[in-house]
C-alpha cells in the first residue's frame, strides 16, 4: 500500500494552531509528518505573515505525536547549518521521536532567507556544491555520534535537477522527494534509475516520495503509477483536517 504523509506549513498561524494541526493529523492514520525549513513565507501569502522555525517545530512534533512513523523536514536547506551540526540535530530528533526521524535535505533556493539572516548569497550551482559537500560529512558524523541514532534515520534528498541533484540522490539518499505531474515524476524516477545503474547501486533501495497540493484520487493514482511510493500533502493554515481525511480515504 502506498504511504501517505502531511507537510504542515508553519505560516499564517499561531503556535497553538500549528500544534492542534499536527496533533490532529497524527490521529488520522497517516504515515509521516513534515514541515519546511524557511525563515519567511516562501510560496504564497504576504511577506509579513507569521512564520516559525522548522527544526524547533520538529522537536515539538517528536514529543507530542505517537502514531506517525516518520517525522522530518521537507526539506532543510543545506547551507543554513554546519553539516556536522545538522547530523547531530537529526540524531537528537531521532531520540526525541523514538527512532522516527528522517533527515530531509536539499540545496535551498530562497535568496531572502540568506540575505535577511546574514548567510552568503549563493548561486544555484554554489548551493548544489554545498549540498554535495554536506552529504558525506553528514553520513560520517552520524557514524561517530554517541549515542548513534535510535532508528534507521534515512536521508531524504529533495529536488528535481537531473544532472546534479538526482545524481546525489542515487549516491547518498534513502528517499527522494519530487514534485510535478505523473509525467514529470516518471521521468525523474527514470533518471534516478539511470544514475543508480551508473554508480552501481540498486535503485530499489531508494523510496520515491512526491509532494501534492490536494488529495485528489486520480492525481494520487497517476503518481503511484509513475513510481511514487509515498505521497505527501502540503497543508496550509487554517489546517482543514477534512483534506487529510480525503487523503486517507483516497489511499
C-alpha–C-alpha distance, residues 119 and 26, integer Å: 35
User: What are the strands, taking DSSP E only, across 36-174?
Assistant: 70-73, 76-77, 101-106, 155-158
C-alpha–C-alpha distance, residues 5 and 115, integer Å: 32
pLDDT at 1: 87
Please answer whether residues 102 and 32 qualify as being in contact, where contact means their C-beta atoms are separated by less than 8 angstroms: yes
pLDDT at 47: 81
pLDDT per position as a tens digit, 27-39:
999 999 999 999 8
Q: Domain ranges in the chain?
A: 3-250
- What is the CATH architecture assignment of 3-250? Alpha-Beta Barrel (3.20)
Handedness of CA 8, 71, 106, 118 (dihedral sign): positive
pLDDT per position as a tens digit, 197-221:
999 999 999 999 999 999 999 999 9
C-alpha–C-alpha distance, residues 180 and 167, integer Å: 19
- How many Å separate Cα 105 from the centre of its chain? 7
C-alpha–C-alpha distance, residues 73 and 33, integer Å: 9
Q: How would residue 227 be classed by pLDDT, with cut points 50, 70 and 90? A: very high
- CA angle, residues 124, 126, 132, in degrees to nearest 5: 105
> Model's pTM, two decimal places?
0.96
pLDDT at 46: 86
| Residues 61-88, mean pLDDT to the nearest whole number | 97
pLDDT at 161: 95
To 10 degrees, the CA torsion angle through 78, 79, 81, 83? 60
pLDDT at 43: 84
Q: How would residue 65 be classed by pLDDT, with cut points 50, 70 and 90? A: very high
Amino acid at each position: 500500500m502506498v504511504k501517505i504523509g502531511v507537510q504542515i506549513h508553519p505560516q499564517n498561524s499561531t503556535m497553538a494552531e500549528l500544534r492542534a494541526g499536527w496533533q490532529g493529523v497524527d490521529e488520522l492514520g497517516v504515515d509521516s509528518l513534515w514541515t519546511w525549513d524557511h525563515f519567511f513565507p516562501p510560496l504564497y501569502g504576504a511577506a509579513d505573515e507569521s512564520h516559525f522555525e522548522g527544526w524547533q517545530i520538529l522537536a515539538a512534533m517528536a514529543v507530542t505525536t505517537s502514531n506517525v512513523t516518520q517525522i522530518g523536514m521537507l526539506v532543510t536547506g543545506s547551507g543554513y547549518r554546519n553539516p556536522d551540526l545538522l547530523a547531530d540535530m537529526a540524531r537528537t530528533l531521532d531520540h526525541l521521536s523514538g527512532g522516527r526521524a528522517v533527515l530531509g535535505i536539499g540545496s535551498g533556493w530562497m535568496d531572502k532567507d540568506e540575505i535577511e539572516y546574514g548567510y552568503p548569497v549563493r548561486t544555484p550551482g554554489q548551493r548544489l556544491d554545498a549540498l554535495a559537500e554536506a552529504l558525506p560529512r553528514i553520513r560520517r558524523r552520524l557514524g561517530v555520534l554517541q549515542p548513534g541514532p535510535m532508528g534507521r534515520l534515512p536521508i531524504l534528498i529533495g529536488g528535481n535537477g537531473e544532472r546534479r541533484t538526482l545524481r546525489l540522490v542515487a549516491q547518498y539518499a534513502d528517499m527522494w522527494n519530487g514534485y510535478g505531474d505523473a509525467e514529470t515524476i516518471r521521468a525523474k524516477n527514470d533518471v534516478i534509475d539511470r544514475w543508480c545503474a551508473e554508480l552501481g547501486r540498486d535503485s530499489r533501495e531508494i523510496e520515491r516520495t512526491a509532494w501534492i497540493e490536494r488529495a485528489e484520487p486520480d492525481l494520487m493514482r497517476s503518481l503511484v503509477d509513475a513510481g511514487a511510493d509515498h505521497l505527501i500533502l502540503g497543508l496550509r493554515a487554517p489546517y482543514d483536517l477534512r483534506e487529510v481525511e480525503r487523503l486517507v480515504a483516497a489511499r
